């Protein structure tokens, strides 16, 4: 995955979580709505944060598929 | 709210590190440091990462996202005191996630792990019996109602100990290095996790940490009731250490023996709940 794509994904998930948190704090949305946003955005945040942090390089390979 | 998720994942990983440490000390080995699983999650986060050529890319990546998502949802369900039926539905979804992990990579080790996760679905059946027995007493499946019932009548652990044991065995079947851990046994390398490396494996670490926290916290709330959070963490740690002792002194069962024993436990629990249903007014 391209680094720019990862950056956009990371930013989008972080913004979604921040927006849900702010909207909940301002009583604009109910708790379950904020939780739903976080349940969707948190996995993306975790993976994209790590994908941005990962070491570069690596060719696609074929795993051991038996003798 | 995200702070709850981060705390649950980190504390769950710490518990899994403690699990490895206790098993090692019982077996007279020094064992890894307690924070080893947290270090693993961080280490895998900066490894080179790609999708294997043989993998179904969408499923291969998607199951990691779904896995983190369902256990995040499970944590919110527990914190909100919602229905344990939702919690256990999520527990069942985890089985689908394990299966997806195994089948998505194209590796035979992963596939065998995925297939074993399907046959070990027997370990989930005691959950239904647990739910039925709890409903017989509390008349509700909402976690907050179950907690309220215990404030009046005392912990369910003392009222229906066999049901607590059944759920304890369900948690045991999800612990690594345990007698029922056939989905990731060593003859399958790492079972369904074998071909998920680098960032994907870091995602699995987050899933495992959150899952461990949610299951142990739910156990405390369902069978002991509302206690101060610090005490709940201490009880969760004690329950985990007892699970570690069981794992340390019990060999891993063969898949068929594992399913047979879980089936027998389910049968015993059905008889017990049938008896309760018969004698209760």
Reduced to 3 states, what is the DSSP secondary structure of residue A40?
helix
Look at residue A47 and tell me whether its pLDDT is greater than 80. yes
- pLDDT at A59 (0 to 100): 63
Per-state percent for chain A, helix, strand, coil, to nearest 5: 70, 0, 30
Contact B53, A60 (CB under 8 A): yes
Q: How far is A48 from chain B (nearest CA, A)?
A: 9
The ranges of chain B with pLDDT < 70 are 122-123, 183, 185-190, 281
Tokens of residue B280, six digits: 């209760």
CB count within 10 Å of CB A53 equals 16
Contact B98, B66 (CB under 8 A): no
Tokens of residue A36, six digits: 């739903």
Vertex B14 angle, CA B9 and B18, to 5°: 145
CA distance B186 to B168: 24
Q: Could you give the percent of chain A with pLDDT greater than 90? A: 36
| Cross-chain Cβ contact A39/B206 below 8 Å | no
B206 touches chain A (CB under 8 A): yes
Which among B45, B72, B73 is the nearest to A54, CB-wise? B45
Residue of A nearest to B70 (CA): A39
- H/E element holding A62? none
| Cross-chain Cβ contact B45/A49 below 8 Å | yes
Contacts of B275 (CB under 8 A, 6+ apart): none
Give which of A5, A31, A50 to mutate to test B binding, by max B Cβ within 10 Å.
A50
Q: Exposure of B23 by Cβ count < 10 A (0-12 exposed, 13-18 middle, 19+ buried)?
A: buried
Tokens of residue B279, six digits: 């004698």
CA distance B82 to A26: 24
B54 touches chain A (CB under 8 A): yes
Contact B178, B250 (CB under 8 A): yes
B69 touches chain A (CB under 8 A): yes
Which among B2, B198, B206 is the nearest to A54, CB-wise? B198
CA distance B171 to B40: 22
| Cross-chain Cβ contact A46/B105 below 8 Å | no
Among A4-8, A11-15, B115-119, top mean pLDDT goes to: A11-15
- pLDDT at B7 (0 to 100): 94
CA distance B141 to B41: 35
Reported pTM? 0.90
Locate the domains of chain B by residue range.
2-279
Contacts of A5 in chain B (CB under 8 A): none
- pLDDT at B69 (0 to 100): 92
| Cross-chain Cβ contact A35/B73 below 8 Å | yes
- pLDDT at B188 (0 to 100): 65
Q: HEC states along chain B?
A: CHHHHHHHHHHHHHHHHHHHHHHHHHCCCCCCCCCHHHHHHHHHHCCCCCCCCCCCHHHHHHHHHHHHHHHHHHHHHHHHCCEHHHHHHHHHHHHHHHHHHHHHCCCHHHHHHHHHHHHHHHHHHHHHHHHHHHHHHHCCCEHHHHHHHHHHHCCHHHHCHHHHHHHHHHHHHHCCCCCCCHHHCHHHCCHHHCCCCHHHHHHHHHHHHHHHHHHHHHHHHHHCCCCCHHHHHHHHHHHHHHHHHHHHHCCCCCHHHHHHHHHHHHHHHHHHHHHHHHHCC
Look at residue A67 and tell me whether its pLDDT is greater than 60. no
- Residue where the block lists tokens 């946003």: A37
What number of residues does chain B have? Answer: 281
Contacts of A63 in chain B (CB under 8 A): 52, 54, 105-107, 194-195
- pLDDT at B87 (0 to 100): 86
What number of residues does chain A have? Answer: 67
**Strand partners for B142:** B83
Contact B101, B193 (CB under 8 A): yes
């Amino acid at each position: 995955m391209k680094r720019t794509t990862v950056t956009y994904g990371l930013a989008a998930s972080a913004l979604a979580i921040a927006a849900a948190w702010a909207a909940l704090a301002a009583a604009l949305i109910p708790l379950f709505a904020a939780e739903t946003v976080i349940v969707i955005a948190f996995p993306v945040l975790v993976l994209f944060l790590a994908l941005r942090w990962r070491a570069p390089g690596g060719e696609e390979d074929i795993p051991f598929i038996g003798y | 709210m995200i702070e709850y998720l981060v705390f649950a994942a980190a504390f769950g990983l710490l518990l899994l590190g403690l699990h490895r440490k206790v098993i090692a000390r019982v077996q007279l080995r020094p064992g890894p440091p307690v924070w080893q699983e947290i270090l693993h999650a961080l280490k895998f986060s900066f490894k080179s990462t790609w999708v294997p050529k043989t993998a179904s890319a969408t499923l291969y990546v998607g199951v990691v996202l779904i896995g983190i998502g369902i256990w995040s949802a499970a944590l919110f369900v527990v914190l909100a005191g919602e229905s344990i039926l939702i919690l256990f539905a999520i527990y069942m979804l985890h089985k689908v996630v394990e299966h997806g992990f195994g089948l998505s990579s194209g590796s035979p080790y992963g596939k065998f792990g995925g297939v074993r996760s399907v046959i070990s679905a027997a370990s989930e059946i005691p959950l239904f019996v647990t739910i039925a027995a709890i409903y017989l007493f509390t008349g509700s499946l909402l976690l907050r109602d179950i907690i309220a019932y215990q404030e009046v009548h005392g912990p369910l652990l003392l009222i229906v100990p066999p049901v607590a044991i059944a759920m304890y065995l369900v948690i045991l079947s999800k612990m690594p290095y345990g007698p029922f851990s056939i989905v990731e046994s060593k003859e399958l390398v790492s079972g369904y996790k074998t071909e998920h490396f680098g960032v994907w494996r870091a995602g699995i670490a987050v899933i495992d940490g959150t899952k461990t926290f949610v299951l142990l916290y739910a156990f405390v709330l369902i069978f002991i009731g509302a206690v101060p959070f610090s005490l709940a963490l201490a009880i969760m740690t004690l329950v985990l250490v007892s699970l570690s002792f069981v794992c340390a002194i019990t060999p891993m069962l063969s898949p068929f023996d594992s399913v047979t024993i879980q089936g027998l436990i389910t049968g015993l629990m059905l008889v017990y709940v049938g008896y309760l249903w018969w004698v209760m007014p």
